[in-house]
């Protein structure tokens, strides 16, 4: 068993996280992650109202008696989001840990701290992680360039970003972006992280509430089958390679292009309906990380977590141990 400051702080068995994923972070998946001994986050804004989030939390508790959290992504939107009401549902349900993302969690920190809710903030740069630490968060999830979703604009991979964050911070660092197996977990721990966050790997599980075509496509894809879109608009996002992401890149290459020219292709609602729900893999954008190249089967969350931990332990005690021998004494 790999116990450390992360597992002790958040009351879980393994240093493995399934971060919040819009349209995917629902009760069946997050309960399965929790039952496997890892830490999963329901996606608050996947639920259309705070009342729906309350129902989803209760549904998750019907499926597990282990700890789980809620992700609260704070972003500017055309339609105002009642963040304070979602926050109150989280607090009233005595959720032990919240994952914040997007904008600064500062407006929500006093309420969460007063309710003894731990906060994990997602960041894509060390300077942002330091700001979050100064606000009093309990851990930072740092996203390297390999990740699905928004990796920032600086293209810094996890191999550099994780140890840079670990050196700069006094709180636990969760390594995100490029992790899908036991070898990655060992590497993250060696780089100074206390846990790994996996998104794409958990989408390709039996319990993920997405169409089977999505899971099979992740298995079929390689590490080359992602694209970075929206870079022109300073909102870079890593998505799966398909006809829609290729068309967005083609249109974006034109000097006169504005975001309105690609908005119909970029619609999150379109991607969730066409791809995640109906399995039309060319019907819209869908998030995927470069870890597609490391995923070779769809399995249960229990199998995924168990294999990752077993592989990590075997690497630490088996494969690496014989290679680590004392240097011979110098001849005098």
Domains and CATH numbers, the chain: 5-205+297-316 (3.20.20.70), 212-277 (no CATH)
Res 1: pLDDT: 73
Q: How many beta carbons lie within 10 A of that of residue 256, not counting itself?
A: 5
User: In the chain, how long is the greatest CA-to-CA distance?
Assistant: 76
Q: Are strands 195-197 and 16-18 parallel, antiparallel or unpaired?
A: parallel
What is the pLDDT, as a whole number, of residue 79?
A: 81
> Nearest Cα to 284, choosing from 268, 299, 260, 300?
268
Instruction: Find, among 90, 77, 73, the residue nearest to 23 by Cα.
Output: 73
Return the closest-CA partner of residue 229 out of 305, 153, 134, 332. Answer: 153
> What pLDDT is stored for residue 320 in this prediction?
65
pLDDT tens for the 332 residues of the chain, in order: 789 999 999 999 999 999 999 999 999 999 999 999 999 999 999 999 999 999 999 999 999 999 999 999 998 776 889 999 999 999 999 999 999 999 999 999 999 999 999 999 999 999 999 999 999 999 999 999 999 999 999 999 999 999 999 999 999 999 999 999 999 999 999 999 999 999 999 999 999 999 999 999 999 999 999 999 999 999 999 999 999 999 999 999 999 999 999 999 999 899 999 999 999 999 999 999 999 999 999 999 999 999 999 999 999 998 666 555 555 565 55
């Amino acid at each position: 068993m790999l116990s450390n400051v992360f597992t002790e702080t958040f009351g879980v068995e393994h240093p493995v996280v399934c971060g919040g994923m819009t349209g995917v972070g629902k009760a069946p998946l997050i309960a399965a992650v929790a039952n496997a001994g890892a830490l999963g986050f329901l996606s608050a804004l996947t639920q259309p109202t705070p009342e729906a989030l309350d129902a989803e939390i209760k549904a998750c508790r019907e499926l597990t008696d282990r700890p789980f959290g809620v992700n609260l992504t704070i972003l500017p939107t055309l339609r105002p989001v009642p963040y304070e009401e979602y926050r109150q549902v989280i607090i009233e349900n005595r959720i032990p840990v919240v994952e914040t993302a997007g904008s600064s969690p500062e407006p929500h920190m006093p309420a969460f701290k007063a309710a003894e809710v731990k906060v994990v903030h997602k960041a894509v740069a060390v300077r942002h992680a330091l700001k979050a630490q100064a606000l009093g968060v309990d851990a930072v999830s740092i996203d390297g360039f390999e990740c699905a979703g928004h990796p920032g604009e600086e293209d810094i991979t996890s191999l550099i970003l994780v140890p840079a964050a670990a050196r700069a911070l006094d709180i636990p660092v969760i390594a995100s972006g490029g992790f899908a197996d036991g070898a990655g977990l060992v590497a993250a721990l060696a780089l100074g992280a206390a846990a790994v966050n996996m998104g794409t790997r958990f989408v390709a599980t039996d319990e993920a509430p997405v169409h089977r075509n999505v899971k099979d496509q992740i298995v079929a894809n390689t590490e080359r089958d992602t694209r970075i879109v929206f870079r022109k608009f300073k909102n870079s996002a890593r998505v799966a390679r398909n006809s829609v992401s290729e068309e967005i890149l083609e249109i974006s290459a034109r000097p006169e292009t504005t975001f309105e020219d690609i908005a119909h292709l970029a619609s999150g609602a379109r991607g969730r309906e066409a791809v995640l729900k109906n399995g039309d893999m060319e019907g819209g954008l869908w998030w995927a990380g470069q870890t597609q190249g490391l995923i070779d089967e769809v399995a249960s969350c229990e199998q995924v977590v168990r294999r990752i931990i077993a592989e990590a332990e075997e690497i630490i005690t088996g494969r690496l141990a014989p290679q680590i021998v004392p240097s011979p004494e110098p001849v005098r």
